[in-house]
Amino acid sequence: MATSSELAAATQSGLPPVLEQLRREAERVVVGQRELIEKCCLAVLCGGHVLLEGAPGLAKTLTVKTLAHLLGWQYQRVQGTPDLLPGDILGGYLLTGTGEFRFRSGPIFTDLLLVDEINRMPPRTQAALLEAMQERQVTLDRQAHALPANFTVIATQNPIEYEGTYPLPEAQLDRFLIKLPVTYPDLEAELAILANPMIHMGALNLTPLSPDWLAQGRTALEAVRAEAPVRAYVAGVVRQTRDWPHLQWGASPRAGVGLLQMARALAAADGRSFTLPDDVKAAAPMILRHRLRLRPEAELDGQTADSVIAAILAAVAIPKAEN
């Protein structure tokens, strides 16, 4: 495990060595999902929540458990089912033998909460996460209960089977900083899994990173500049989504904040202290794809959220820097 001085030296040279340390440890267990590991890590550094969409068996749960272990965070998992109640996640007040009501915390009181198959939870239970994801607190019986400072939700949904599911409302989707499609590993990674399938099952013991890892990574991220032309480009992209003919409605100002935040994170991951329009273009799909609603006729024409985002990025002019 790296010492605090080693992490500080790595951070001074940028975020890449810090990310590399986590990726190297995580890939001892999770094979073939490097992009998933890196993007989840950047979202954690940004303090944002993550929505993962992919078929079963692609190491989504394993990745989240591994990330929590490496960070030294408390971890809880909730399985989405149609009969899941808000109290099953939040907790509630129980009557004790002394006649007093005592609060019993639910699994949401943790650092990293994995909500598996979130779209199988009924709308009322989905709504129970809204306040927690935005305010990092829950209110029960008019009493506010603070969540851990690092509270982060990583949720999964299955894109194959929609029977018995409840689509996430726009207010819920907007709380997720990024949405990532989880795809099948390439041939090399799949052969590595088959050569030693116990790796993919998490059989290895991993050493948690230094407690300073998160603070050092966020320090490196905060040092990244975003000049006025880049901010103008972000605003132009977000505002264009609201007038695009293929969309029923576009992205919120919260999406613009997230887009700039993730663009800065990508710049830091590339070892730069400044943000480029290319960082905005790279961040746009993961920030916007779950926040846009296509018109029915656009879906019939074969349009997707990602294809619309690509068209918007091509249409928005990149502002020139002032001399």
Predicted confidence (pLDDT) per residue in 202-244, tens digit:
656 787 888 788 888 888 899 999 999 999 999 999 999 999 9
Do 50 and 177 reside in the same domain of the chain?
yes
Q: How far apart are CA 145 and CA 105, in angstroms?
A: 9
Q: What is the pLDDT of residue 201?
A: 63
In this prediction, residue 10 carries a pLDDT of 40
| CATH at residue 260 | 1.10.8.80
pLDDT at 11: 40
How many Å apart are CA 178 and CA 261, to the nearest integer? 11
- Structural domain count, the chain: 2
CA angle 264/269/271 to nearest 5° reads 95
What is the arithmetic mean of pLDDT over 49-54?
96
What residue numbers bound the domain in which 228 lies? 224-315
* pLDDT for the residue 143: 86
The verdict on 142 and 75 lying in the same domain is: yes
Residue 262 located in a structural domain: yes
> Sign of torsion, CA 43 48 53 57?
positive
Which of 166, 187, 208 lies at the terminal end of a domain, its last residue?
187
Residues 80, 85, 89, CA angle at the centre, nearest 5°?
70
Is residue 27 one of the residues assigned to a domain?
Answer: no
Strand 112-116 relative to strand 101-105: parallel, antiparallel, unpaired?
A: unpaired
Percentage of the chain with pLDDT > 90?
Answer: 61
At 6 the pLDDT is: 40
Query: What pLDDT sits at residue 47?
Result: 94
Strands 143-146 and 91-95: unpaired
Q: What is the pLDDT of residue 197?
A: 67
How confident is the model over 107-148, as pLDDT tens digits?
Answer: 999 999 999 999 999 998 998 899 999 999 998 888 889 999
My answer on whether 144 and 59 are in the same domain is yes
Has residue 10 been placed in a domain?
no
Asked whether residue 289 is assigned to any structural domain, the reply reads yes
Of 187, 215, 235, which marks where a domain is finished? 187
Q: Which residue has the tokens 């709380």?
A: 175
Mind listing the pLDDT tens digit for each residue in 250-262? 999 999 999 999 9
For residues 242 and 310, state if they share a domain.
yes
pLDDT 10s digits, 20-31: 888 888 988 888
Q: Give the 3-state DSSP-derived string for the chain, with helices as H, strands as E and coil as C.
A: CCCHHHHHHHHHCCCHHHHHHHHHHHCCCCCCCHHHHHHHHHHHHHCCEEEEEECCCCCHHHHHHHHHHHHCCCEEEEECCCCCCHHHHHEEEEECCCCCEEEEECCCCCCEEEEECHHHCCHHHHHHHHHHHHHCEEEECCEEEECCCCCEEEEEECCCCCCCCCCCCHHHHCCEEEEEEECCCCHHHHHHHHHCHHHHCCCCCCCCCCCCHHHHHHHHHHCCECCHHHHHHHHHHHHHHCCCCCEEECCCHHHHHHHHHHHHHHHHHCCCCECCHHHHHHHHHHHHCCCCEECHHHHHCCCCHHHHHHHHHHHCCCCCCCC
Picking from 162, 187, 212, the residue at the C-terminal end of a domain is: 187
Q: Are residues 54 and 108 in the same domain?
A: yes
Kindly state whether residues 180 and 38 are assigned to the same domain. Answer: yes
Residue 131 included in any domain: yes
Output b/e per residue, 71-84; b: 16+ Cβ within 10 A.
bebebbbbebeeeb
Domain membership of residue 261 (yes or no) is yes
What average pLDDT score do residues 184-210 get?
79
Answer yes or no: are the C-beta atoms of 159 and 55 closer than 8 Å.
yes
pTM: 0.89
| CATH code at position 93 | 3.40.50.300
In a domain, 210, yes or no: no
Same domain, 45 and 168: yes
Mean pLDDT of 195-206: 67
Residue 170 lies in a domain: yes
Judgement on whether residues 91 and 165 belong to the same structural domain of the protein: yes
**Do residue 79 and residue 181 come from a single domain?**
yes
1/311: higher pLDDT: 311
Tokens of 24: 């190297």
Assess whether 60 and 182 both reside in one domain: yes
**Shared-domain flag, residues 91 and 163:** yes
Regarding whether 131 and 50 lie in a shared domain, the answer is yes
Q: Indicate whether 94 pLDDT > 90.
A: no
